[in-house]
Amino acid sequence: MKHYERLLLENKSWAKVKVQEDPQFFERLVNIQRPDFLWIGCSDSRVPPDQITQTQPGEIFIHRNVANLVVHTDLNMLSVLQYAVEVLEVKHVIVCGHYGCGGVKAAMSRHSFGIINKWLRNIKDVYRLNAQEIDVLPTEEERVNRLIELNIKHQVLNLAETSIIQASWKKFNRPYLHGWVYDLHDGLLKPISEMPPNTPLPYPIYQFDNL
């Protein structure tokens, strides 16, 4: 059997088991999508959001990219965020990174990786802002893992800065923002930062008075 054929076969048996367990499973999901959570995570194949949280289809709206970044010029992320916040009315947005993240490791090195350099540039900025704290750590692994945590915190702040979140905080007092890190060694999620609705930001941002 070819590699990809396994996926198609597994899909057939998954769909069959789902209907056996719950005959209305697909019918319910066809007509309505009302997740409470938006997940912004790393594309890493070892961090599947629904599996590690034991959530079902329909429960988490998901966006993934290399190193779980929130970049203000990323139309893909902004479109997902706007749809999740304004249409789906999610209550929580979770930025989830993971220890041992290859994207963060790459950003800490001097190697050139081609087009992804421009994406990793954003992480290099987080490193620069926190270099004093990171550089004193004794091992490479600790330095990478600290930058991974600081990167998550930074992306939560980036989220809070978006006009989408600012407007929704002001009008609806939601969503709650969370930064989590996943440990590949034990499969556990650890909360490392959070911003409840209307958390003041540490610098002047645009006002949204005319909403």
Q: Which residues are identified as catalytic?
A: 42, 44, 46, 98, 101
188-195, strands of its sheet edge to edge: 60-65, 37-42, 92-98, 176-183, 188-195
Q: Looking at beta carbons only, is 11 or 76 nearer to Co ion?
A: 76
* Region binding Co ion by CB under 5 A among candidate stretches 39-47, 51-59, 140-148, 153-161: 39-47
Give me the 92-131 binding string for Co ion, x by CB under 5 A, dash otherwise: ---------x-x----------------------------
CB of 148 to Co ion, least distance (A): 8
For residue 61, the SS3 value is strand
Q: Looking at beta carbons only, is 101 or 195 nearer to Co ion?
A: 101
- Please give the Cα distance from 210 to 75 (Å, whole number): 24
Which of 41, 38, 122 shows the shortest CA–CA distance to 80? Answer: 38
44 binds Co ion (CB under 5 A): yes
Structure tokens at 116: 């992804």
CB of 98 to Co ion, least distance (A): 6
CB of 41 to Co ion, least distance (A): 8
40 binds Co ion (CB under 5 A): no
Residues forming the site for Co ion (CB under 5 A): 42, 44, 101, 103
